[in-house]
Amino acid sequence: MAPIPTLRVLVFQDESTDLWVAQALEIDLAAQGDHPLDALRSLGRTLAGQALADQEVGNVPFRSLEPAPAQFWRRFEKAMRLNEELPVERPWRDAPAPFVIAPRTELRLSV
């Protein structure tokens, strides 16, 4: 699997549910949590699961996914940079350690 060069993630609170959302931009995947870090952890699991599902059917991970809609990219540009790393677990026992989705992540918080 060739990793995404930089994975940008926007973290924001959904006003309709009060849940926090972590939205990947290079690939349109998102996850929710009660707190920003919960949302990021959930996104890490979602990314790992998607990579595993793609590989199980012989596809290159994430190749079938489009980038996130433009509204998230615009919001990302105005958001505050975070100094956190995206927590990504290995999706399967024999996955290379560390399992790398992107060698570099850029996380931003929108309030």
pLDDT at 91 over 60: no
The two three-digit tokens of residue 1, written as one number: 């699997």
pLDDT at 49 over 60: yes
In the DSSP assignment, the letter for residue 1 is: -
Whole-structure pTM value: 0.82
Classified as helix, coil or strand, 44 is helix
Q: How high does pLDDT run on average in the chain? A: 83
Predicted local distance difference test score (pLDDT) of residue 2: 54
pLDDT mean over 51-75: 91
Spatial separation of the C-alpha atoms in residues 45 and 53, rounded to whole Å = 12
Residue showing tokens 């309030």 = 111
The long-range contacts involving 12-19, CB below 8 angstroms and separated by at least 24 positions, are 12/75, 12/79, 12/109, 12/110, 12/111, 13/111
Predicted local distance difference test score (pLDDT) of residue 101: 59
Predicted local distance difference test score (pLDDT) of residue 98: 44
Predicted local distance difference test score (pLDDT) of residue 97: 46
